[in-house]
Amino acid sequence: MNTFTESEERQALRAAVADLGRRYGGEWFQRKARGGEKTTELWTEAGKLGYLGVNVPEEYGGGGGTIGDLAAVCEELSAAGCGLLLMVVSPAICATIITRFGTDEQKQAWLPRFADGSLRMAFAITEPDAGSNAHKLTTTARRDGDDWVLNGRKVFISGVDEAAAVLVVGRTEDARTGRLKPALFIVPTDAPGFEYQPIEMDIVSPDKQFMLFLDDVRLPADALVGSQDAALMQLFAGLNPERIMAASFAVGMGRYALDRAVAYAGDRSVWSTPIGAHQGIAHPLAVAKIELELAKLMTQKAAALYDSGDDAGAGESANMAKYAAAEASIKAVDAAVQAHGGNGLTAEYGMGALVAASRVNRIAPVSREMILNFVAQNTLGLPKSY
């Protein structure tokens, strides 16, 4: 029976993760980011506690839970001011695809390490000249005996410097038609011919973005995940969780900004009463609360549909959730900065750093415009524009 209330187990998971997040907190997170350091301590502790592997099957050491459970973990850490971006990628996309489509050997090799957090795997689909058009990907894999040889470039790939491997979306040639079709490969980051360079970003974050260069990267036959003939389906099976997790990450970020703003507006007095008593401050924060709750509800719906096996229904809801969460997080951060006044742009209060960080939610991992295209064409049935 579906209800609008999460299970007691999910609520307990949220509470436990929130406690962990508060022990680290936003000031710790931003101090790490500004110092060029990583958030390894938090990732390691979350992994040991089983929070990063809640969606990995129990037989591989995971919690046997769902994407909804993992999304709750992601949201609560983000709401504590220390969101782990690679949660959106490593356990959500990569572990999901390997769980659903990997061979027994691939599952044994990778899933236990996803489960305990000892592995981080990046995901590489975007290319410099392809953008959101997956049909224009030029990274190709050709057979050479039993091996695969990969060549290509990728851009805006998160966390490669912390990853043991990257799940790369390439294309192979169909022997029957000669046409290129998608395929997924696990590429170790220390493979010969694999190089990466950081992209300088105007974002305060411990998670860096990279350009990837694959120059005759030779991989064994078992680097291919799943079937050559079903890679598009496999890819979308990983992208729905990605959108759900991105929405949870954004909702959590908005909650963090709103919580800080409410605390500030409740304490700061200028004209004999706290500024939060003034509707010019209170109403934008109330709007932010409403819109974050609506986005969270759609995210929970998308997770429930995905976890029930309804990939098509989950696709529509996951895109809507990601859109709503991105917009809500941007408005929440904007209202929080305004409530703080000049303090909203000081390093001490940490709100200014969220302006750029929240703006990313509208662009990645899929842009607002591509979501609107999806809804226009698939939900409303309007003609395709491209």
Tokens of 261: 């703003």
Identify the residue with better confidence: 385 or 185: 185
pLDDT at 236: 76
- CATH superfamily entry for domain 8-120: Acyl-CoA dehydrogenase/oxidase, N-terminal domain (1.10.540.10)
Q: What is the pLDDT of residues 135-149, one digit of tens each?
A: 788 999 999 999 999
Q: Which part of the chain has CATH 1.10.540.10? A: 8-120
Q: What is the pLDDT of residues 116-172, one digit of tens each?
A: 999 999 999 999 998 777 778 899 999 999 999 999 999 999 999 999 999 999 998
Tokens of 76: 């609560």
d(CA 130, CA 126): 7
Instruction: Kindly tell me if the per-residue pLDDT of 285 is higher than 50.
Output: yes
**92, 248 Cβ separation under 8 angstroms:** no
pLDDT-derived band at 266 (thresholds 50, 70, 90) equals: very high
Q: What is the pLDDT of residues 184-224, one digit of tens each?
A: 999 999 999 999 999 999 999 999 999 999 999 999 999 99
**184, 224 Cβ separation under 8 angstroms:** yes
Residue 77, CA distances (Å) to 259, 287, 339, 357 in order: 14, 23, 23, 15
Between 1.20.58.220, 1.25.40.340, 3.30.70.20, 1.20.140.10, what CATH number should domain 232-379 receive? Answer: 1.20.140.10
Q: Which part of the chain has CATH 1.20.140.10? A: 232-379
Tokens of 324: 């709503």
- The predicted model gives 302-314 an average pLDDT of 93
The rounded mean pLDDT for the chain is: 95
pLDDT-derived band at 180 (thresholds 50, 70, 90) equals: confident
The three-point CA angle 105-108-110 to 5° equals 105
One-letter amino acid identity for 118? Answer: S
**112, 98 Cβ separation under 8 angstroms:** no
Least confident of 84-98, 178-192, 281-295: 178-192
**335, 258 Cβ separation under 8 angstroms:** yes
| Full-model pTM | 0.96
- Domain covering 123-226, topology: Butyryl-CoA Dehydrogenase, subunit A; domain 2 (2.40.110)
Tokens of 207: 């998670």
pLDDT-derived band at 1 (thresholds 50, 70, 90) equals: very low
Q: What are phi and psi of 187, to 5 degrees?
A: -115, 115
d(CA 290, CA 80): 19
pLDDT-derived band at 42 (thresholds 50, 70, 90) equals: very high
The CA radius of gyration of the chain, in Å to the nearest whole number, is 21
Whose structure tokens read 């703003």?
261
Tokens of 53: 């592997």
Alpha helices in the chain (DSSP H): 8-34, 40-48, 67-79, 86-89, 95-101, 104-115, 231-267, 279-307, 311-340, 352-360, 368-374
**118, 152 Cβ separation under 8 angstroms:** no
